[in-house]
Structure 1
Amino acid sequence: MMNKKEKAERIRNKQNGAKGAANVAPLVMRPPLKVSNDELAAYAKVQAEMVVSGRSGANGGRTLDELVVLPGEALITRSELARLWGTTVGTLSKWASEGKGPRYLTSGANGWVRYQMNDVRAYTDELTVEAS
């Protein structure tokens, strides 16, 4: 059984973090982001335009009129795609986890997801059924 002094020392060590190599967290190497320089440049351009226009941030984003005329290389957020398709971010997340929906880019570590308009349009074309 521990006496009061030992118990106090143990609590202090937990609060301050014990010194020594045993408590150093191992370095976790993450795989590099698999996004081309062109895709990153397109994303940076879109983000810069949103900041300049005052539409950056969680409540920002482009209007539907702006979304439908974006060039093919433009990247859009999951919330923008949800708004464009009239669905929810949760539905798009579920589809992605099930391997459904358009291709997307992700950082993995940061958790951001972006869809390239070419991929969104291609996926929409796959779903389109011609009337007979």
Structure 2
Amino acid sequence: MTKILLVEDNEMNRDMLSRRLLRKGFEMVIAVDGAQGVEMANSERPDLILMDMSLPEIDGWEATRLIKSNDHLKHTPIIALTAHAMPSDKQNALDAGCDDYDTKPVELPRLLDKMAQLLNAND
């Protein structure tokens, strides 16, 4: 089963997205801030990370940089999830090491397509 780490501080977003992904057959692990996201990426070794960018403790950009600097995790795909929808926001997420970018509110079919592309690229 494909393991997804969802790093999201908003309880409603976390609950909604994790339940939808569970129904699609993914195993879900959840972190509620950037620091916990980095810790859980190390301990859980997910197949893919969904990273909110506006997080407490450590923001999503810094959490992504820390995860990608780890030799064991540098190939783990990370999709930035953010309400920031300006072109510069996408570029900032990619510059931090995210492999893709998606805006909130999440459109599940679009997100699933992006997840499938990144997961299949790692096979």
TM-score by length of 2: 0.28
Higher strand share: 2
Q: Larger Cα Rg: Structure 1 or Structure 2?
A: 1
